[in-house]
Structure 1
Amino acid sequence: MKQELIGRTSSRQNDLYHIVTNKIIEALEKGTEPWRKTWDTENEGLPVNAATGRHYSGINVMLLWIGAVEKGVNSNRWLTFNQAKCAGGSVRRGEKSTLVTLFKPFTEDSSDSEVEDKLTYSSRCFMARFHLFNIEQCENLPEHFYAKKPVLLDVERIDRAESVVISSGVPVIHRYQDCAYYHPKNDHIVIPEMGQFHSVEDYYCTLLHELVHSTGHASRLARKGIMTPLSQKMSNPVYAFEELIAEIGAAFLCAELGIQGHLQHESYIASWLKILKEDHKAIFRVARYAKEAFEYLILNTNKK
């Protein structure tokens, strides 16, 4: 896999942060949430490497969803130019790649004369960029690269979503009202009755959004946006940051569970754009927290 190493040259690394952030900003300014998968890929879940079967996560999920829209493809299966070649296929002439990122740890050593000249080590990460092609941009790939998972019935998708909610252990209180929220102090979710939503899918999208908030509780992942008492206003940057985590985490869950529904409202976008424009590394932190919340909920479900 050909990669361009970025970490040792700060200016080049910052360029990559800017490139990725600008892709997210551009999508938002066009009125499209880049973490919301608006097309149907049946039951394929999150983007996956067609050659290795490994699922992509975090910021790369959004980059690949943006790439799918830009390239006009529907599959969520991707691979590198060399992977296509090694499999006996090829990328069609003229096709453009989609940028993704990779963080890798490396260790620096330095001599410390005050500690008997022993080497001390500090662990850091460098960021690499590499480029993927969708299988729909390729030809002559083996048949198993195109194999699809069995399509789940609606009731099966809802059962899976319900399992995630139940396995979390967070109480869900239904009330006939106009808002949904997670209450950190009482550690429960309050949500309108299912019949108030336009669809069952919209109900679960909202519920999963609040469930991602609940992972920030002190007994779980202890995120600042949930641990710190805040006025519930999007003008508060910590609150807006936590809302973006919940939005993206819920999008990851919906994709994994095969649920197509409406997530949040357009009123949030201005605050999110402000965060991203002021800090070009913010979306990477958001994606990491969303990934942690997603994995926490899915792993808990798989344990039950």
Structure 2
Amino acid sequence: MAQKPDIYTRVTNKIIADLETGVRTWHQPWNAEHLAGRITRPLRHNGVAYRGLNIILLWAASVATGYSAPIWMTYRQAQALGGQVRKGSKGETVVYADKLRRTETDDKGEEREVAIPFLKAYTVFNVEQVEGLPDHYYATAQQMPEGIERDVAAEAFFAATGADIRHGGNRAYYALQPDYVQMPPFEAFEDPAAYYATVAHEVTHNAEVRIMPRRPSQAVAQLEVQSRMSA
């Protein structure tokens, strides 16, 4: 029986897969429609930010599923808050890291305390999968202030690239097939600069494919750096 990859291998594979499709798992400069959407790290049910490996795990989950809320909780935590996870919802794996301390006897017969690190995996759900929570868990974000105008020169530049740029949803990515760039609405971004930087990144992926349609897999990292520089 094949051995399941450990949690670190799973995260590494996820990041590589995201890079190959032009998705930056760790960066989202738009507010994603939720009041807490501009928080830089995923949050627990009590507002405390996740740390370490869990940040990447939950960012990746949000990108894959399109969740706009950055708040996560266990099944029991949802119940304690008066909520109920929707039937059929699939949770995401996060880990708890700690050290188990115990006393051992060394070769000299002396007792000493040793710390053994361990990881414990458990499952959490996004608040968008939970019904009946207090209202503030579902609070929507303020969009970009009205009156902010688009940059005419930037709009003309991206139009001239010939890229098919579509708007809607809360994900930004380049779809290799059928060859288009998907962007959240302009108003969902923190500011125009964040919007145009994201468009530049995704349009660069579009240009890369047209220039090198059969790019080797080992070139993915280099092309990602080029896309970042363009943004």
- The 2-side partners of 1:113 and 1:66 are apart by 46
Instruction: Work out the CA distance in 1 between the residues paired with 2:80 and 2:112.
Output: 41
For residue 48 of structure 1, give the secondary structure of its aligned residue in structure 2.
Answer: coil
Given candidates 23, 42, 48, the residue that maps to 1:47 is 42
Which residue of 2 is the match for residue 34 of structure 1?
25
* Letter of the 1:270 counterpart: A
> Post-superposition shift, 1:122?
2.5
- Say if 1:43 and 1:151 are closer, same or farther in 2 by CA, change over 3 A: farther
Contact between 1:98 and 1:132, CA under 8 Å: does it hold in 2?
yes
Q: How far apart are the structure 2 equivalents of 1:153 and 1:109?
A: 60
Secondary structure of the residue aligned to 1:145 is helix
Q: Could you report, residue by residue, the CA deviation over 1:3-26 in whole angstroms, capped at 9, with x for unpaired residues? A: xxxxxxxx87x6222222222222
Residue 227 of structure 2 corresponds to which residue in structure 1?
Answer: none
Residue 103 of structure 1 aligns with which residue? 97
State the one-letter code of the partner of 1:85. Answer: Q
Distance 2:223 2:106 in 1: 44
| Structure 1 gap ranges (5+) | 1-10, 155-197, 199-257, 274-304
Is 1:141 the equivalent of 2:133? Answer: yes
Structure 1 counterpart SS, 2:19: helix
| 2:76 equivalent among 72, 82, 85 | 82
Written as runs of structure 1 = structure 2, the 5 A alignment for 1:157-168 is none
- Paired residue type of 1:145: Y
User: What does 1:223-242 correspond to in 2, within 5 Å?
Assistant: none
Cα drift, residue 123 of structure 1: 2.2
1:122 is the counterpart of 2:114: yes
> Aligned partner of 2:79: which letter?
K
Q: Higher helix proportion, which one?
A: 1
Q: Is the 8 A contact 1:107 1:121 kept in 2?
A: yes
Cα RMSD for the two superposed structures: 3.7
Cα distance in 2, alignment partners of residues 148 and 128 from structure 1: 33
Aligned to 1:23: 14
Within-5 A mapping of 1:214-225: none
> Does 2:215 align with 1:270?
no
Give the drift of 1:33.
1.4
In structure 2, stretches of 5+ residues that fail to align are: 147-153, 155-189, 209-218, 225-231
CA contact (8 A) 1:39 1:74 kept: no
User: How far is the alpha carbon of 1:81 from its aligned partner?
Assistant: 1.2
2:175 aligns with none
**Equivalent-residue separation in structure 2 for 1:52 and 1:29 (angstroms):** 35
Deviation at 1:66, TM superposition (A): 1.6
Which of 88, 105, 110 is 1:94 aligned to?
88
1:85 alignment partner, SS class: helix
**TM-score, normalised relative to structure 1:** 0.44
8 Å CA contact 1:37, 1:65 repeated in 2: no
Distance 1:56 1:153 in 2: 30
Query: Shift of the alpha carbon at 1:76?
Result: 0.9
